[in-house]
Amino acid sequence: MSAEAPHLKIKIQLYCGDEIAMGPGKADLLEALAREGSISGAGRALGMSYRRAWLLVDAMNRCWCEPLVATTPGGAAKGGARLTPLGEDVLRRYSELVEQAAGIRDGKDWAALRGLLREMPKVHQKEEV
Amino acid sequence: MSAEAPHLKIKIQLYCGDEIAMGPGKADLLEALAREGSISGAGRALGMSYRRAWLLVDAMNRCWCEPLVATTPGGAAKGGARLTPLGEDVLRRYSELVEQAAGIRDGKDWAALRGLLREMPKVHQKEEV
């Protein structure tokens, strides 16, 4: 059990049909990809398999009007990848959404709720079912 | 596959230790409970087992300084349940957080992103792995 203090998580997901076109995991992957310069490197940096990282990139590239990631052929070992201008724009705007939503942490409602939460949950009672 | 238009989902979860003290599912349950007057009725209204509904109520009651739900003994069939004043306050404030965060839907970033999303994802390409 973690000793983490009570906190608030906000998850923003953009859907295209039934697929998630952008969300926290895909945004992290785009950031890692911009740093690492390849899908395999980005996956490694996030502790994610190449296959998993590739599938996330493929989903993004199919959900937006143009690809967010451009790849250079060469397979997992040699191939490079970079964000397209659209990829950079989408990542920046998604980060803006996340930042705006995070503003609720500064309001009176979260302050009040935070004050009403226990530091840790009470021990589980015997189930009454 | 749904034909739902591109959309944005926002999920707000309040954590106490490793447990979710409030989130979309628990807020729905509190609302149903206020309407139905019992855990079993609320569970039924949401297509949730009594056991599942009871566990969610129990988690909430252990995460906050006082219980959010007060139960009248009598088992699944006869027992009643209602929100405590704290339960009403927490639900109201959580709904405020949700509403404030939903304000990002009115901004320029979501409008721009919405315009860049396809109506439906492109068909899956042959995997390159």
Among A94-98, A125-129, B94-98, the range scoring the smallest mean pLDDT is A125-129
pLDDT at B128 over 80: no
Secondary structure string (H, E, C) spanning A62-111: HHECCCCEEEECCHHHHCEEEECHHHHHHHHHHHHHHHHHHHHHHCHHHH
> For the segment B86-122, what is each residue's pLDDT rounded down to a tens digit?
999 999 999 999 999 999 999 999 999 999 999 999 9
Which residue in A3, A50, A109 is closest to B93 by CB distance? Answer: A109
How close A82 comes to chain B (CA, Å)?
17
**Chain B interface test: which of A1, A2, A14 (most B C-beta within 10 Å):** A14
Instruction: List pLDDT tens digits, range A27-69.
Output: 999 999 999 999 999 999 999 999 999 999 999 999 999 999 9
Nearest CA in chain A to B128: A75
CA distances to A53, A75, A84, A126, B126 from A41, rounded to whole Å, are: 10, 12, 17, 48, 22
The proportion of chain A whose per-residue pLDDT surpasses 70, expressed as a percent, equals 88
The pLDDT, as a whole number, for residue B125 is 58
What pLDDT is stored for residue B76 in this prediction?
A: 56
Distances B14 to A16, A82, B71, B86 between C-alpha atoms, Å = 27, 36, 23, 16
| C-beta separation of A94 from A102 below 8 A | no
Which class for B119: exposed (0-12), middle (13-18), buried (19 or more C-beta within 10 A)?
exposed
Identify the band that residue B56 occupies on the pLDDT scale cut at 50, 70 and 90.
Answer: very high
- In this prediction, residues A3-23 reach a mean pLDDT of 94
Confirm if B34 and B83 have CB atoms less than 8 A apart: yes
